[in-house]
Amino acid sequence: MSGPAAITGLRERFGEPADTPALVTLINVAFLAEQVAIEGDRINAEKLQPFFASGKFLMLEDAEGVAGCVYAEVRGKRGYIGLLALRPQLKGRGLGRLLMNRAEAYLGAAGCEAADLRTISARNDLVPMYKHLGYQQTGTTPMPPGIPLKISCHFITMSKRLQPQQRE
């Protein structure tokens, strides 16, 4: 392995349902910034379970446990990426980029021609970050009913064309 994972001693692997408690904790800590707009935790164990059936969690681990994750799902010729999360003290080390690159490679190897993601409009820090990674804003969608909002917001949708990958 090369890049940030080798430098920092992180291990990469796919997540499993047994990782649910660690993933729930990591995602909720990483998504605390959303609480400016959305009431409560981002995810719980029950809401996380369907993700294991429909896609893959790509995980980074270190001696302290789960250091980061991202979710990738094949949806025909398009892929979806979400739930990018890092332990807060690991931000700024290129690990988010590493996870996004791995998710894009996974989707490309599965035959996806593009990757889609969405972020909430209240997180104005994320659109520039994803643009820096090659994503372009493609539109907006309303928040689903039932999400307890503190302020009015919507989803910003973004996409990136993927490079063809060798199937593994």
pLDDT in tens, 99-130: 999 999 999 999 999 999 999 999 988 999 99
> CA angle, 152 as apex, 145 and 40 as ends, to 5°?
65
Question: Is residue 166 a part of any domain in this protein?
Answer: no
Q: Is the pTM above the cut of 0.85?
A: yes
Residue 130 inside a domain? The answer is: yes
The neighbouring-strand residues paired with 61 are 11, 66
Q: CA-CA distances (angstroms) from residue 145 to 35, 38, 86, 141, 154?
A: 17, 12, 28, 12, 11
Q: What pLDDT, on a 0 to 100 scale, did the predictor assign at position 39?
A: 85
The CATH number of the domain holding residue 100 is 3.40.630.30
Inside any domain, residue 106? yes
Q: Using one digit for the tens of pLDDT, what is the confidence trace for 10-31?
A: 999 999 999 999 999 999 999 9
User: What whole-number distance in Å separates Cα of residue 158 and Cα of residue 19?
Assistant: 28
Residue 88 domain flag? yes
Residue 101 lies in a domain: yes
141, pLDDT greater than 80: yes
Question: Tell me: the pLDDT tens digits for 58-105?
Answer: 999 999 999 999 999 999 999 999 999 999 999 888 999 999 999 999
pLDDT at residue 140 tops 90: yes
Range of the domain at 135: 4-161
In a domain, 168, yes or no: no
Is 167 inside a domain boundary?
no
Is residue 22 within 8 Å of 65, Cβ to Cβ?
yes
Domains contained in the chain, number: 1
Rg of the chain over CA atoms, in angstroms?
15
